[in-house]
Structure 1
């Protein structure tokens, strides 16, 4: 027996010595001890130590300062340390803390850079609490830099490390991210959990009434019983199941029979009816429709008295901006109303029972700000068409851009095309560059061959102008030595023309566009174009809006009860925003060699 024991023991000693020899230079190290809650004592103790012990205490002090809300002291302590040769555990701890501080300063790209240090390859060897902290910082950094799908993947990955309360919070964050993803999303073959989340999101966003969504959600839970969202529904979906459906019985459509933009009005009506009949033919319960002519209606009071007499549950319209503005001046409306335009007046108090939906350039400006921010841009110049429309779009972009943390360097209101070169030259300060070259030549008393250069405090251009004017911006930027500046724009730049010769000057500009004009396959769209060929052109935007109006009508109860819920339509992803205005997130495109190419 003893003889049998000696051999394994000797072998164990030899293996242990060999392991020590092979890993002595590959130690992960230890995390700082953060149990002391007294910052002054921790700093005093650190001052009495040297080398690694001092570094550990200073890291603990920096973390303590951050937990106590003193980010400046935390940052100062971290920057005073030389961690170039620190072991992985210390590097991971320090970089995670630095990333959290960067996120507090709205610098998600810096946070991601810190979290990509090679030391994080060994994160899984550290205690679970540190793994969770580092992954939480990475998930937040990905989200705040606009990388929503990688953020979802990070949260799915870390879910298995979390206790009950943290797991619940992570589940809610995951759903919030998934519900904001732009569809479609490609998942990998082994991403079963992600595919479950995506299926859940498509079901909630899709067509159909509240009753149909509740039925589909219960079916999804039964079919995916092992999915985290089936075991614990996100709060928003729990509320969805608890809602008492209030189906529409009668819906009235209020549009003009004679209007200077009657083609647009007809497109809205036909798109609405196409979606309505599609729903009816697929077996969905649809409301009775009544039609009113806004050319023949009297005062708002008379209109709503008639609606109440007709027992209308929802009025769709009016379309005319002046009529919508008049309704928005009321404190409340006796019948729920989904207007097909936005009121001019912006009051702090929303009109009760009034919802507003349209193809808003302001929405597109805010989307452009989010896209540019996600692409890493931070310093913007704005070029908008002179006039009221341009001022509104500029204000929407500037407000959202600064809210994200971006810097608005300058704004220019574009006048006549002949003025464009001078306006852009002044904006880009080319003359300053030329004058510097001239002064240098005068100082050296010699001829200098130099190329003028643009100002370097600008990352990109936001453009909101009609196609005819926009077509001159890109060539002028190139001529003004600023062809390297990315340009983000609203859909106003799209002329709808198939003539590539006219579109080459728009090449490379990233712009918003409705899914109707980007996606080639949709049964409803195909049917509408077959009947009304003009729907294949820019007029298709209004057919899409009409179709989405019906979709909003039957989902209004859901969207109002769950403000973060959205629905996927042919004009984009829609949800109710402030003052019950429908906000859209559209697709993205570029012209490449004069051809429209969708972007991811």
Structure 2
């Protein structure tokens, strides 16, 4: 009786599989389709199967079913039991695609792309549309995760005609997201096909400055490409840009303290802000009117917002004081869009809040980016003892290690008298000297040995004061490590113009604001003629003030187009998903007491 039931079960399962299978051609073989059976039933049927080919197909069905049910671990275990050589080409494509999908659940895009390089994939165009879409989608995801953005976009453009309804709409938006994230120098269309159209659209949007110019560029592109998919259905971010362009900014509140500890900082920010405002007027633009408010005399932020609303303010720039920024960042909503000139502790604030500041963490991440671009992988770090040094080190470490870098040594700098010992410890020089002494004791004669340092440190991440940097670089030279590159934050640069101060820092590379590296910038020349202190370290604040003005009308634009940037005077500016303005900075190097600008690398 049991044997009869098993036979009946086997016949039912075989019928189900046959009903659900698809045969693209006899040479490629039938594909598994998820049958109305459990994973356990499929696996049991596989063990009872009379042919290895049928057993392999049943296990492939079970592995696919486990994946569809969200059990990637079980799916991978079952798939390992499927011998690829016993599958026909169509089934190999199916198995390779499933293997790639499982690799992506483990965040292993390289393994996914390896799976999709199986020779059977040359027959993909002969497969059913559903399989072509499934394979193309996981390949696009893997390419994107592996940093091959343009290739991922090409893959999505290829499968676009095969999609319908919601899947087509999602793929359409994904294509734009990928194309829009490409740097401008990669947006050079070389053809008039769909890819060329996408590239020319992104190029038109990115090279236009204001919202109005962007809107005109989009309209012109649509006229030239009326049958392109993006002309027929404008991507959602570009639709939002059109809405933003219809809401011009006419009145800004500048909320800064006019007295107290931060008054001098606020003065520099205000003067930089207004300098940019007057420059816009001189260029023939119609800038928004500015209303000044004193944050030092506020009794409450609620009262300020009520007054600002009554005054017709559309955007608030400020506050500067961290307690006030913290206060508004914890609210669920703000009555007016606000660009705070400092950062709160938490990551995400209300949707109306943007945050902008000269965060040293941005510079630490910039060091990480530049060192990667220069082909480096193993770092040592030197930071000051204390809370500031810990913050900067944390930002560098997180970005560096998240991108595959290794930190092999860390020293926290404090007292100058300890510096030589710290550097010796970092490079393990004392161990080298100890080995020389041990050898001398063993052989009984004097051994001439120059201490050797460890060789696995490719560069040093340095965040320090100018005075500390003046001591660190000569000490590195003395301790046989003068050839190790040093990448530093702007904290090493005093911008004093004192060549004697820079003589001992030769070879240190550092990131810095464009304001301090480009003395010929028209706005900087105007400002320093009136306020000479803007040419020194205070210039960073003047640059931030000017950039706050330039950001004001474009916050919505940067939020809507997350991969777009403003080339500002405090850095190349973008808005993160948490609505913090993030800076990327140009680079310079101390050479013979002079500051020399370094060529930019691709971001």
Q: Shared fold (TM-score greater than 0.5)?
A: yes
RMSD between aligned alpha carbons?
A: 5.5
What runs of 5+ residues in structure 2 fail to find an aligned partner? 1-24, 442-446
1:248 and 1:46 map into 2 onto residues whose CA distance is 68
Q: Hey, what does 1:34 align to over in structure 2?
A: 32
Secondary structure (helix, strand or coil) at the match of 1:103 reads helix
Q: Hey, what does 2:581 align to over in structure 1?
A: 583
Q: Hey, what does 1:22 align to over in structure 2?
A: none
Deviation of the 1:598 alpha carbon:
0.8
Q: Hey, what does 2:289 align to over in structure 1?
A: 288
Secondary structure (helix, strand or coil) at the match of 1:233 reads coil
Q: Hey, what does 1:12 align to over in structure 2?
A: none
Superposed CA deviations along residues 468-507 of structure 1, whole A, max 9, x for unmatched, are 6568889989999999999876554567689796665336
Superposed counterparts of 1:436-455, under 5 Å: none
Is the Cα–Cα contact under 8 Å of residues 56 and 87 in structure 2 kept in the other structure? no
Q: Hey, what does 1:75 align to over in structure 2?
A: 76
Deviation of the 1:409 alpha carbon:
8.1
2:81 and 2:450 map into 1 onto residues whose CA distance is 43
Secondary structure (helix, strand or coil) at the match of 1:225 reads coil
1:96 and 1:488 map into 2 onto residues whose CA distance is 43
Deviation of the 1:261 alpha carbon:
8.4
Is the Cα–Cα contact under 8 Å of residues 367 and 461 in structure 2 kept in the other structure? yes
Return the match for 1:195 from 195, 199, 221.
Answer: 199
After superposition, the Cα gap between the structure-2 partners of 1:524 and 1:53, relative to the gap in structure 1 and judged at 3 Å, is: farther
Secondary structure (helix, strand or coil) at the match of 1:598 reads coil
1:250 and 1:216 map into 2 onto residues whose CA distance is 26
Is the Cα–Cα contact under 8 Å of residues 146 and 373 in structure 1 kept in the other structure? no
2:375 and 2:165 map into 1 onto residues whose CA distance is 35
Deviation of the 1:227 alpha carbon:
2.9
After superposition, the Cα gap between the structure-2 partners of 1:353 and 1:242, relative to the gap in structure 1 and judged at 3 Å, is: closer
After superposition, the Cα gap between the structure-2 partners of 1:156 and 1:470, relative to the gap in structure 1 and judged at 3 Å, is: farther
After superposition, the Cα gap between the structure-2 partners of 1:108 and 1:385, relative to the gap in structure 1 and judged at 3 Å, is: farther
Secondary structure (helix, strand or coil) at the match of 1:599 reads coil
Q: Hey, what does 1:574 align to over in structure 2?
A: 574
Secondary structure (helix, strand or coil) at the match of 2:32 reads coil
Deviation of the 1:423 alpha carbon:
4.9
After superposition, the Cα gap between the structure-2 partners of 1:308 and 1:135, relative to the gap in structure 1 and judged at 3 Å, is: closer
After superposition, the Cα gap between the structure-2 partners of 1:383 and 1:591, relative to the gap in structure 1 and judged at 3 Å, is: same
Superposed counterparts of 1:182-331, under 5 Å: 182-190=183-191, 192-202=196-206, 207-209=209-211, 213-214=214-215, 216-242=217-243, 245-255=246-256, 268-281=269-282, 284-292=285-293, 297=297, 299-300=299-300, 307=308, 310-321=311-322, 324=325
Superposed CA deviations along residues 180-225 of structure 1, whole A, max 9, x for unmatched, are 344443525236224224225416xx5435x665555444433432
2:89 and 2:470 map into 1 onto residues whose CA distance is 53
After superposition, the Cα gap between the structure-2 partners of 1:147 and 1:174, relative to the gap in structure 1 and judged at 3 Å, is: same
2:482 and 2:40 map into 1 onto residues whose CA distance is 55
Superposed CA deviations along residues 253-307 of structure 1, whole A, max 9, x for unmatched, are 3446688888865653454334434444555442222345667x45456766765
Is the Cα–Cα contact under 8 Å of residues 52 and 86 in structure 2 kept in the other structure? no
Q: Hey, what does 1:16 align to over in structure 2?
A: none
Is the Cα–Cα contact under 8 Å of residues 178 and 197 in structure 1 kept in the other structure? no
Q: Hey, what does 1:13 align to over in structure 2?
A: none
Secondary structure (helix, strand or coil) at the match of 1:290 reads strand
Superposed counterparts of 1:358-377, under 5 Å: 358-365=357-364
Q: Hey, what does 2:43 align to over in structure 1?
A: 43
After superposition, the Cα gap between the structure-2 partners of 1:335 and 1:102, relative to the gap in structure 1 and judged at 3 Å, is: closer
**Does 403-412 or 269-278 show the bigger shift?**
403-412
Q: Hey, what does 1:166 align to over in structure 2?
A: 167
Is the Cα–Cα contact under 8 Å of residues 160 and 168 in structure 2 kept in the other structure? yes
1:31 and 1:451 map into 2 onto residues whose CA distance is 68
Is the Cα–Cα contact under 8 Å of residues 133 and 159 in structure 2 kept in the other structure? yes
1:352 and 1:589 map into 2 onto residues whose CA distance is 33
Deviation of the 1:134 alpha carbon:
3.4
Secondary structure (helix, strand or coil) at the match of 1:286 reads coil
Is the Cα–Cα contact under 8 Å of residues 29 and 90 in structure 1 kept in the other structure? no
2:140 and 2:374 map into 1 onto residues whose CA distance is 17
**Does 403-412 or 138-147 show the bigger shift?**
403-412
2:514 and 2:408 map into 1 onto residues whose CA distance is 32
After superposition, the Cα gap between the structure-2 partners of 1:595 and 1:556, relative to the gap in structure 1 and judged at 3 Å, is: closer
Q: Hey, what does 1:96 align to over in structure 2?
A: 97
1:293 and 1:316 map into 2 onto residues whose CA distance is 12
2:428 and 2:377 map into 1 onto residues whose CA distance is 19
Is the Cα–Cα contact under 8 Å of residues 383 and 389 in structure 2 kept in the other structure? yes
Q: Hey, what does 1:180 align to over in structure 2?
A: 181
Superposed counterparts of 1:554-569, under 5 Å: 554-556=553-555, 562=560, 564=562, 566-569=564-567
Counterpart check, 1:549 vs 2:551? no
After superposition, the Cα gap between the structure-2 partners of 1:156 and 1:427, relative to the gap in structure 1 and judged at 3 Å, is: farther
Deviation of the 1:424 alpha carbon:
6.4
Superposed counterparts of 1:378-457, under 5 Å: 383-397=382-396, 413-416=412-415, 419=418, 423=422
**Does 51-60 or 483-492 show the bigger shift?**
483-492
1:482 and 1:86 map into 2 onto residues whose CA distance is 58
